[in-house]
Amino acid sequence: MSALLDGVCAALMLAGAFFTLAGTVGVLRFPDVYCRLHALTKVDNLGLGLVVLGLALQSGSWATALELLLVWFFVLISSAFTCQLVARAALRRGAAPWTGRRPP
Amino acid sequence: MTMALFDACLALCLPLLAWMVLRTESLSQAVVLFVALGLLAALGWARLDAPDISLVEAAVGTGLTGALLMHTLSWTDERPPDIVARARRRPGSLLALAALTGVLGWAVLALPPDDPGLTREVDARLARSGVEHPVTAVLLNFRGYDTLLEIAVLLVAALGARAVNPRTERPSPEPARDPLTGELFRMMVPALLLVAGYLVWVGEHGPGGAFQAGAILAGGGVVALLTLQMGAPRLSSWRVRVVLLTGPLLFIAVAVAPLFSGRDLLEYRRDLAGTLIFVVELALTATIALVLLMFFPGVRPARVSGGKAP
């Protein structure tokens, strides 16, 4: 049973690491600020969530699992808000969204 | 093995980031890099088993200072400074830097290896301090005198900050541009208060205490200043004065009280020590939060052009 649990945890954390890496690649490679924000907030939140889930299963105590989930919850809230705020600030400053015609 | 790799990464990244902060072309990039550097420094302190310093670094050195820098950035013209002129070889400063590095390195290497310092003395007398965390015991009992003077220094710093910052209580009449930030603030307030209260309480037996809690409250205050169109605290309002003086005066009272019963300054009665320290920490939290908040100017100063106020 514990071996199965370890396997599930490892799979979750590896998936989380993969998504986080994908988000970072997106930030570095995407053409404009809106696409980058999209990659960063969505994908990184998913990656962090998967890592937190794996760690929570591994922790073996409800209190620790709850704390980890709270951490994820706060990151979700703050990243959703900051994403909106940064995007608005960029729009106010006149950062043009990428239309696909310009070379990135 | 994994930890050694992690430590090596930290040790490599810290100087690299510091160098990048100094060498970036744009000011906003420098600020962001500075915040990243602060977070990594907090990680470094945590790895060196100094959780208290790590907490302060994250809350004050990174959070509040980063907010102050960002705020300052919004007043300045983002003109890239002349990097080439700055990077001109200045042999004097290079020599001074090398000398300082040498002296610091020599000082660190001259320390006796594995010297516990005063850890043993503190641990031996921990039971008499009224708290269970050695750092709190040293700060508020064994060396309470230093903390008392530190609070006085903080008050002076607040006076200086107020002298420099523009004096306005009324916020600018412009309406709040973003409903989002106010909403975020409203969601975060309960959590902020909870975390600050928890940090004060946990200081009795773990890393935490008045400084960290005050910094977190001040962070919430900064968000309030920026979003809720709240006026910056003014020294002329009696409420601000009361809060500013609560911590120091209470601390002084607690410090002087033993003198009347024939004991020394700050020599608490052992059965009351824990309670006294907790009360003092609570009062200090409010004072520290307000002092840190007073560093934060509420409005933009009038743009000074050519050395003359317009």
Amino acid identity, position A10: A
Would you call A88 and B187 a contact, using CB atoms and an 8 Å cutoff? no
Contacts of A83 (CB under 8 A, 6+ apart): A37, A40, A41
pLDDT of residue A81: 86
Of the pLDDT bands very low, low, confident and very high (cuts 50, 70, 90), residue B184 is confident
Question: Among B180, B187, B191, whose Cβ lies nearest the Cβ of A85?
Answer: B180
User: Does an H or E element contain B277, and which?
Assistant: helix B273-294
- Compare all CA atoms of chain B with the CA of A83 and give the residue at the minimum distance: B180
Residue B306: is its pLDDT beyond 50?
no
CB B77 within 8 A of CB B300: no
Touching check for B189 and chain A: CB below 8 Å? no
Length of chain B: 310
Pick A77's closest partner by Cβ from B178, B181, B187: B187
**pLDDT higher than threshold 60 for residue B174:** no
Q: Do A81 and B184 touch (CB under 8 A)?
A: yes
The low-confidence residues of chain A, meaning pLDDT below 70, are 1, 102-104
How far does A83 lie from chain B, in Å, by closest CA?
A: 11
Compare CB distances from A88 to B178, B184, B188 and report the shortest one's residue.
Answer: B178
Decide: A13 and A51 in contact? Cβ < 8 Å: yes
Asked if pLDDT for residue B196 goes beyond 70, the answer is: yes
- As given in the structure block, the two tokens for residue A99 are 């239309």
pLDDT range class, residue B87, cuts 50, 70, 90: low
Per-residue pLDDT tens digits for B240-259: 889 999 999 999 998 888 88
Nearest Cα to Cα of residue B266 among B152, B154, B121, B147: B147
* Interface contact B159, partner A, CB < 8 A: no
- Tally A–B CB contacts below 8 A: 15
B12 touches chain A (CB under 8 A): no
What's the pLDDT tens digit per position in B94-137?
889 899 999 999 998 888 877 777 788 888 888 777 788 888 88
Is B184 in contact with A74 (Cβ distance < 8 A)?
Answer: no
B168 part of contact set with chain A, CB < 8 Å: no
The overall pTM is greater than 0.85: no
Asked if pLDDT for residue B78 goes beyond 70, the answer is no
Which residues in chain A are contacts of B187 at CB distance < 8 A?
A: 77
Return the amino acid letter for A71: V
Q: What is the pLDDT of residue B268?
A: 82
- 3-class secondary structure for A19-84? HHHHHHHHHHHCCCHHHHHHHHHHHHHHHHHHHHHHHHHHHCCHHHHHHHHHHHHHHHHHHHHHHH
Is the confidence at residue B308, as pLDDT, over 50? no
Burial B33-47 (b: 16+ CB within 10 A, else e): bbbbbbbbbbbbbbe
> Residues of A near B (CB-CB distance < 8 A)?
74, 77-78, 81, 84-85, 88
d(CA B189, CA B120): 41
B187 close contact with A: CB closer than 8 A: yes
Rounded to whole angstroms, the Cα distance separating B78 from B75 reads 9
Q: Are residues B181 and A78, on separate chains, in Cβ contact within 8 Å?
A: no
The yes-or-no verdict on residue B177 having pLDDT over 80 is: no
Give CA B281 to chain center in angstroms.
15
pLDDT digits (tens, 9 = 90+) for B226-242: 777 667 777 778 888 89
- B181: chain A residues, CB-CB within 8 Å: 81, 85
Burial class (CB in 10 A: 0-12, 13-18, 19+), B12: exposed
Mutant choice from A40, A81, A83, A88 vs B, greatest count of B C-beta within 10 A: A81
pLDDT over 70, % of chain B: 86
The residue among B178, B185, B195, B226 with the most chain A CBs within 10 A of its CB, best to mutate, is: B178
Q: Is the pLDDT of residue B307 over 50?
A: no
Average pLDDT over residues B258-281: 84
- Write down the mean pLDDT value for chain B: 82
Spatial CB neighbours of B134, under 8 Å, sequence gap ≥ 6: B119, B122, B123, B126
Is pLDDT at B45 greater than 70 in this prediction? yes
pLDDT digits (tens, 9 = 90+) for B131-149: 888 888 888 888 888 988 9
The answer to whether B83 contacts chain A (CB < 8 Å) is no
Helix (H, G, I), strand (E, B) or coil at B194: helix
Does B181 reach chain A within 8 Å, measured CB to CB?
Answer: yes
C-alpha R_g of chain A: 17
Q: Which chain A residue has its CA at the smallest distance from B178's CA?
A: A85
Asked if B180 is an interface residue toward chain A (Cβ–Cβ < 8 A), one would say: yes
Least confident of B28-42, B82-96, B268-282: B82-96
pLDDT at position B298: 61
